[in-house]
Structure 1
Amino acid sequence: MLKINWCYTPKHGSWLNIAENELSSITRQCVAGRRIGSIEKLAREIKAWSTDINNKQRCVDWQMKIDDARFKLKSAYPKLRL
């Protein structure tokens, strides 16, 4: 059985872009142009793809520090008051 874990991300900001990029990658590299006959086979294909991708140690190169982000993107990175 395929289980989908929903992870809610901010509407604006870097995490949403990363999630969109991963979904685009899996579509293009794993399932595009193919007909997969069952959920079980789809789960195996996605697991094999994600294992391969994770073994390649891809990462995100963050270009902006948190203080810069809070200054430039005030609505996406609000400053917390303690």
Structure 2
Amino acid sequence: MIAPEANAAFVANMEDVLAVYQRPHDPLRPVVCLDETSKQLIKETRAPAPAKPGRKARHDYEYERNGVANLFMMFAPLEGKTVCPLLRLR
């Protein structure tokens, strides 16, 4: 929770953003949401020990770094559309 005295301008702007989600559906002006994150790609250095009755498979904690993936997602919730572009790794 943000204390009102901490940053009144921030709270006012946040209310404006949240009001967007209260608008009625308009196909000419769809609500589009964006999100992005990055994830480290890792590779196991040893094969996992297989599962046995009463015991799950065991994975070693050691890993090899294998780059980073930047993930982007766009969706229009009222349209029921999602776009997750697959881009080439650098």
Under TM normalisation by the shorter chain, which class is it? under 0.3
Taking structure 1 as the reference length, the TM-score comes to: 0.26
Choose between structure 1 and 2: higher strand proportion. 2
Choose between structure 1 and 2: higher helix proportion. 1
Mark the structure with the bigger radius of gyration: 2
